[in-house]
């Protein structure tokens, strides 16, 4: 009996100790959370070095060029003593990885997120994110339409930062010149151009199927020229609430048909399934591929590989054409900076954001990453492809990317497209696309999908 | 002998840790597999067998199930055949046997992620050394897109993993071979038994314990394959190389925690259902001399 008693006591003590250790961990987490919550708008950019410098973690998708941020953070370190550690996560998985980090309490101090208010739903902004709505300093230079794009029920949880993005077709001007072709006037013209380029021995289109996400651009950029005119804003609103089904839009199905046509005509590179974003840049830069469906993130990458002269003189851009005309360009508001309220150094992160918003820093940012600016009086030198899109925007020939207008995402689209490249089954791909969209709405517990 | 035994409570601190960090999370996980735990929901509530019903209706999981079994069966069989073969060769009095043992074992200590990236380059359809080698010796017609063609992708992952793990089996078999008495072998030789007969009737039966360990570990580890698939194909192209863990990862990352836990539990049941009979069968044929 004595033995049993002793054993039970030992067990109880060890469990209690372990339990206490667990509770202790929890308490410290809570106190961190509490201090995070105290982050408020009275913190401001300081030019004096912090007494106890901290290292802030900044999480960014690896599809975004980190160089301009690194430059800004260097300045921040010089002025405050605080350093910023960049963590680049895979672009295709970024949203999911951030959500997972949130759910496990692994909060970065600051992170870059896709634009728009739908992210508020995903990240449960009212509980988890620092609110910027009432901070006049933050919004003083940001152009009003960008502020509007971030506002939901009068609240703003993300500060837009960077340049207006663009999706479309990037092309190598030298290859076009050699084939004697010009940017297309309509979709049929695009096919004719591609055939002429193929006849010169150059691959007309390069696609990054292995990486997955690049293959989606065909549809996102094709949507605004082909699907939007057919369903209008009303149709988009119905998609948002699941009143309109994705597989009830013939124009969307037609995009799959068009894509299959490109595959069947052999207008993509050899080994198309092995295509990567990296090789896409190389092929386009070296003139081995004529055109790519991509986003503006490719511009700084091309500049890194082939120099500024290439981007200025050899790189061209045109929107995905519709059957009738040259189509419209897809634009995206810039990514937004967000701060989890429970971040370890939320105060310092707020200070960093305000530092990044100063005229000096935005000018520095645009010098390193020129793009269509969102700040008033911003000094920026646009590269020609950006000027093309700016001109289209001013001519009313642009539309915001459909994924920035819908809360459910085109889930597993990249996997679906990999299968589509293998089996070429239009009906299957189109129906799976619709099913995955509904599945995503359901998993997000959205109205109309539950 | 009685004096050499230690009191049972010596095991209790370890048992407490095990209870707290293994049994408790497992039980909690079991409970969560019956809930609608979702990153987008404010509450977690019991939903009975809904998750299990959903997973049985998911064709993607069926693909993952099929691929996991093919992978596990192929790796278990070939890892053991090759491991045993290597052990037999390197148990002989070869000059460079220690060096060779090290070379064959080395891949096992390299991270599967690193191996994955190396083999991604090796398998590249135009720049990879496999296709370049085939082209240079006039066998260009055999060149394939090893990782992106659904016909070859799973096969390529199997070969890569075999390259990584065969050395481990080799070491376990070598250890087993060291315990076989030389007298037995020598006396059977004197009785006129040739190499195959010695292997068939003496060596192989006495390696039964090593076989049990190797088969069981190979089977369990290969059913839990994840990193290699993630780096080489990420379950693609499409879902053609999807395995249980890539599917589970995907479900977790989309915030469907309750459902993902149910899938994880299915894998646990599957490993147990296959592992226990295999273990019992192999144990039965173990012998001592």
* A204/A282 same-domain check: yes
Nearest Cβ partner for B148 among A7, A97, A210: A210
C-alpha to C-alpha distance for A380 and A143, rounded to whole angstroms: 15
The CATH number of whichever domain residue A354 belongs to comes to: 3.40.190.10
Q: Helix or strand or coil: residue A411? A: coil
Nearest Cβ partner for A11 among B12, B40, B235: B12
φ, ψ at A295 (rounded to 5°): -115, 170
* Secondary element (H or E) of residue A55: strand A55-61
Residue A237 in any domain: the answer is yes
β-strands A329-332, A315-318 pairing: unpaired
C-alpha to C-alpha distance for A139 and A116, rounded to whole angstroms: 16
Instruction: Please give the DSSP secondary-structure letter assigned to residue B11.
Output: G
Residue-level pLDDT at A25: 35
* A406/A296 same-domain check: yes
| Closest CA in chain B for residue A445 | B40
The whole-number average pLDDT for the span A177-196 is: 97
The whole-number average pLDDT for the span A244-263 is: 97
Nearest Cβ partner for A15 among B20, B255, B256: B20
* A200/A294 same-domain check: yes
Establish whether the linkage from the previous residue to A247 is cis, with ω within 30° of 0.
no
Residue-level pLDDT at A36: 37
**All residues at 6 or more sequence positions from B188 whose CB lies less than 8 Å from its CB, including other chains:** B197, B198, B201, B202
The whole-number average pLDDT for the span A229-255 is: 96
Residue-level pLDDT at A50: 60
Token pair listed for A368: 């390193």
Beta strands in A273-413 (DSSP E): 289-295, 315-318, 329-332, 336-338, 372-373, 398-400
Q: Chain B 129-148, CB below 8 Å of chain A: which residues?
A: 145, 147-148
Residue-level pLDDT at B216: 95
- Residues linked to residue A332 through DSSP beta bridges, in sequence order: A165
Q: Helix or strand or coil: residue B250? A: helix
Which residue matches tokens 């530092």?
Answer: A355
Residue A97 distance to chain B (closest CA, Å): 6
Q: Cβ(B199)–Cβ(B177) under 8 Å?
A: no
Residue A449 in any domain: the answer is no
* A368/A410 same-domain check: no
Residue-level pLDDT at B19: 95
CB contact under 8 Å between A100 and B145, yes or no, is no
* A63/A154 same-domain check: yes
- Residues linked to residue A316 through DSSP beta bridges, in sequence order: A171
- Average pLDDT over all residues of chain B: 91
Number of helices (H) and strands (E) in chain A: give both, helices first. 19, 12
* A128/A176 same-domain check: no
Residue B160 or A51, more confident: B160
Examine the pLDDT at B218 and tell me if it is beyond 90. Answer: yes
Q: What's the residue count for chain B?
A: 289
- Residues linked to residue A330 through DSSP beta bridges, in sequence order: A167, A399
Residue-level pLDDT at A49: 61
Query: Does A4 contact B at CB distance below 8 Å?
Result: no
Residue-level pLDDT at A27: 36
* A99/A171 same-domain check: no
- Residues linked to residue A57 through DSSP beta bridges, in sequence order: A85
CB contact under 8 Å between A274 and B252, yes or no, is no
Residue A283 in any domain: the answer is yes
Alpha helices in A241-324 (DSSP H): 250-264, 277-285, 298-313
**All residues at 6 or more sequence positions from B19 whose CB lies less than 8 Å from its CB, including other chains:** A15
CB-count burial class (<10 Å; 0-12, 13-18, 19+) for A382: middle
C-alpha to C-alpha distance for B134 and B121, rounded to whole angstroms: 15
Q: Helix or strand or coil: residue B60? A: helix
- Residues linked to residue A84 through DSSP beta bridges, in sequence order: A56
Range of the domain at A311: 165-332+401-444
A chain contacts of residue B124, beta-carbon cutoff 8 Å = 274
The whole-number average pLDDT for the span A77-90 is: 93
| CA angle at A33 for the pair A27 and A34, rounded to the nearest 5° | 90
- Average pLDDT over all residues of chain A: 87
Domain count, chain A: 2
Ramachandran region of residue A412, left (φ > 0), alpha (ψ -120 to 50) or beta? left
Token pair listed for A366: 């645009």
**All residues at 6 or more sequence positions from A200 whose CB lies less than 8 Å from its CB, including other chains:** A175, A178, A179
The whole-number average pLDDT for the span A288-304 is: 94
Residue A126 distance to chain B (closest CA, Å): 12
The percentage of chain B sitting over the pLDDT mark of 90, rounded to a whole number, equals 74
* Secondary element (H or E) of residue A172: strand A163-172
Residue B207 distance to chain A (closest CA, Å): 41
Residue-level pLDDT at A182: 97
Q: pLDDT confidence of A329, banded at 50, 70, 90?
A: very high
Q: pLDDT confidence of A23, banded at 50, 70, 90?
A: very low
* A201/A310 same-domain check: yes
The whole-number average pLDDT for the span A117-144 is: 89
C-alpha to C-alpha distance for B161 and B140, rounded to whole angstroms: 25
* A318/A196 same-domain check: yes
Residue-level pLDDT at A450: 79
* A183/A304 same-domain check: yes
The whole-number average pLDDT for the span A229-233 is: 95
* A189/A114 same-domain check: no
Which residue matches tokens 């500060």?
Answer: A159
Residue-level pLDDT at B287: 66
Q: Cβ(A406)–Cβ(A236) under 8 Å?
A: yes
Alpha carbon separation from B79 to B49, B91, B214, B219, B243 (Å, rounded): 38, 18, 9, 10, 19
SS (H, E, C) B64-122: HHHHHHHHHHHHHHHHHHHHHHHHHHHCCCCCCHHHHHHHHHHHHHCCHHHHHHHHHHH
Q: Which of A15, A213, A273, A282 to mutate against chain B (most B CBs within 10 Å)?
A: A273
Residue A394 in any domain: the answer is no
Residue-level pLDDT at A51: 66
Examine the pLDDT at A11 and tell me if it is beyond 70. Answer: no
Q: What's the residue count for chain A?
A: 450
Residue A387 in any domain: the answer is no
Q: Helix or strand or coil: residue A332? A: strand
Residue A272 in any domain: the answer is yes
Nearest to B162 by CA among B207, B244, B107: B107
Helix A277-285 with A298-313: angle, nearest 10 deg: 0
pLDDT, tens digit, for every residue of A174-184? 999 999 999 99
Alpha helices in B33-58 (DSSP H): 50-56
Nearest to A440 by CA among A120, A96, A61: A96
* Secondary element (H or E) of residue B272: helix B257-284
* Secondary element (H or E) of residue A60: strand A55-61
| CA angle at B10 for the pair B5 and B11, rounded to the nearest 5° | 105
Q: pLDDT confidence of A13, banded at 50, 70, 90?
A: very low
Residue A36 in any domain: the answer is no
Kindly report whether the global pTM for this prediction surpasses the value 0.90: no
Residue-level pLDDT at B288: 58
The whole-number average pLDDT for the span A4-27 is: 42
A chain contacts of residue B252, beta-carbon cutoff 8 Å = 100
Examine the pLDDT at A9 and tell me if it is beyond 60. Answer: no
CB contacts < 8 Å between A and B, how many? 92
Examine the pLDDT at A130 and tell me if it is beyond 80. Answer: yes
Least confident range from A4-18, A65-79, A211-225, A420-434: namely: A4-18
Examine the pLDDT at A306 and tell me if it is beyond 60. Answer: yes
Q: Does the predicted interface ipTM exceed a cut of 0.95? A: no
Residue A26 or B189, more confident: B189
The whole-number average pLDDT for the span A92-113 is: 87
Instruction: Please give the DSSP secondary-structure letter assigned to residue A378.
Output: -
* Secondary element (H or E) of residue A203: strand A203-205
Examine the pLDDT at A73 and tell me if it is beyond 50. Answer: yes
CB contact under 8 Å between A122 and B40, yes or no, is yes
The whole-number average pLDDT for the span B54-83 is: 95
Residue A46 or A422, more confident: A422
pLDDT, tens digit, for every residue of B142-156? 999 999 999 999 999
* A359/A413 same-domain check: no
Residue A66 in any domain: the answer is yes
Residue-level pLDDT at A14: 45
Residue-level pLDDT at A290: 98
Q: Helix or strand or coil: residue A88? A: strand
Residue A446 distance to chain B (closest CA, Å): 9
φ, ψ at B13 (rounded to 5°): -60, -45
- Residues linked to residue A169 through DSSP beta bridges, in sequence order: A293, A318
């Amino acid at each position: 009996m004595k033995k049993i008693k002793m054993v039970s006591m030992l067990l109880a003590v060890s469990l209690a100790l372990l339990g206490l250790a667990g509770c202790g961990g929890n308490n410290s987490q809570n106190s961190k959370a509490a201090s995070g919550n105290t982050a408020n708008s009275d913190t401001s950019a300081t030019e004096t070095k912090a007494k106890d410098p901290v290292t802030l973690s900044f999480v960014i998708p690896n599809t975004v060029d980190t160089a301009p941020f690194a430059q800004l953070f260097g300045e921040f370190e010089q002025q405050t003593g605080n350093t910023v550690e960049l963590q680049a996560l895979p672009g295709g998985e970024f949203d999911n990885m951030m959500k997972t980090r949130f759910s496990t309490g692994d909060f970065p101090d600051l992170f870059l997120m896709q634009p728009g208010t739908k992210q508020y739903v995903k990240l449960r902004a009212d509980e988890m994110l620092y609110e910027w709505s009432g901070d006049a300093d933050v919004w003083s230079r940001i152009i009003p339409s960008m502020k509007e794009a971030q506002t939901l029920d009068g609240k703003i949880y993300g500060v837009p930062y960077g340049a207006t993005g663009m999706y479309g077709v990037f092309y190598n001007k030298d290859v076009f010149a050699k084939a004697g072709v010009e940017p297309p006037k309509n979709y049929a013209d695009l096919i004719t151009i591609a055939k002429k380029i193929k006849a010169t021995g150059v691959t007309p289109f390069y696609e990054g199927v292995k990486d997955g996400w690049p293959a989606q651009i065909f549809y996102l950029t094709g949507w605004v020229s082909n699907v939007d005119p057919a369903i209008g804003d009303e149709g988009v609103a119905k998609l948002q609430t699941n009143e309109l089904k994705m597989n009830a839009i013939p124009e969307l199905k037609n995009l799959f048909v068009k894509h299959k046509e490109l595959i069947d005509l052999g207008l993509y590179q050899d080994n198309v399934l092995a295509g990567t974003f990296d090789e896409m840049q190389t092929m386009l830069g070296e003139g081995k591929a004529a055109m790519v469906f991509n986003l503006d993130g490719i511009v700084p990458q091309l500049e890194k590989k082939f120099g500024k002269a290439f981007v200025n003189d050899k790189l061209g851009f045109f929107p995905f054409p519709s059957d009738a005309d040259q189509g419209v360009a897809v634009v995206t508001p810039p990514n937004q900076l967000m701060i989890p309220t429970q971040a370890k150094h939320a105060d310092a992160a707020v200070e960093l954001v305000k530092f990044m918003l100063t005229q000096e820093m935005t000018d520095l940012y645009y010098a390193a990453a020129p793009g269509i600016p969102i700040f008033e009086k911003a000094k920026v030198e646009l590269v020609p492809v950006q000027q093309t899109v700016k001109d289209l925007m001013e001519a009313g020939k642009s539309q915001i990317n459909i994924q920035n207008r819908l809360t459910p995402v085109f889930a597993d689209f990249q996997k679906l497209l990999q299968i589509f490249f293998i089996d070429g089954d239009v009906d299957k791909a189109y129906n799976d696309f619709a099913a995955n969209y509904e599945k995503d709405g359901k998993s997000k517990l959205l109205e109309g999908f539950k | 002998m009685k004096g050499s035994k230690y009191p049972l409570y010596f095991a209790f601190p370890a048992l407490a840790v095990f209870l707290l960090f293994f049994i408790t999370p497992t039980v909690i996980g079991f409970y969560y597999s019956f809930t609608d735990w979702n990153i987008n929901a404010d509450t977690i509530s019991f939903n009975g067998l809904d998750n299990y019903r959903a997973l049985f209706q998911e064709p993607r999981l069926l693909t993952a199930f099929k691929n996991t079994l093919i992978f596990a069966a192929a790796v278990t069989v070939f890892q053991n055949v090759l491991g045993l073969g290597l052990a037999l060769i390197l148990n002989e009095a070869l000059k460079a046997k220690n060096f060779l043992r090290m070379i064959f074992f080395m891949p096992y200590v390299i991270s599967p992620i690193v191996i994955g990236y190396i083999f991604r380059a090796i398998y590249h359809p135009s720049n990879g050394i496999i296709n370049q080698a085939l082209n240079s010796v006039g066998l260009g017609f055999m060149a394939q897109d090893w990782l992106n063609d659904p016909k070859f992708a799973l096969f390529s992952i199997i070969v890569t993993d075999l390259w990584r793990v065969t050395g481990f089996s080799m070491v376990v078999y070598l250890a087993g071979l060291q315990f076989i008495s030389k007298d037995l072998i020598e006396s059977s030789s004197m009785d006129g038994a040739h190499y195959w007969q010695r292997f068939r009737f003496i060596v192989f039966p006495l390696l039964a314990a090593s076989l049990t360990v190797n088969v069981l570990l190979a089977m369990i580890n290969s059913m839990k394959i994840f990193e290699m698939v993630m780096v080489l194909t990420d379950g693609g192209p499409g879902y053609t190389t999807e395995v249980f863990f890539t599917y589970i990862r995907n479900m977790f990352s989309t915030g469907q925690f309750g459902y993902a836990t149910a899938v994880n539990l299915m894998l646990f049941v599957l490993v147990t259902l296959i592992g226990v009979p295999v273990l019992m069968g192999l144990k039965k044929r173990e012998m001592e001399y």
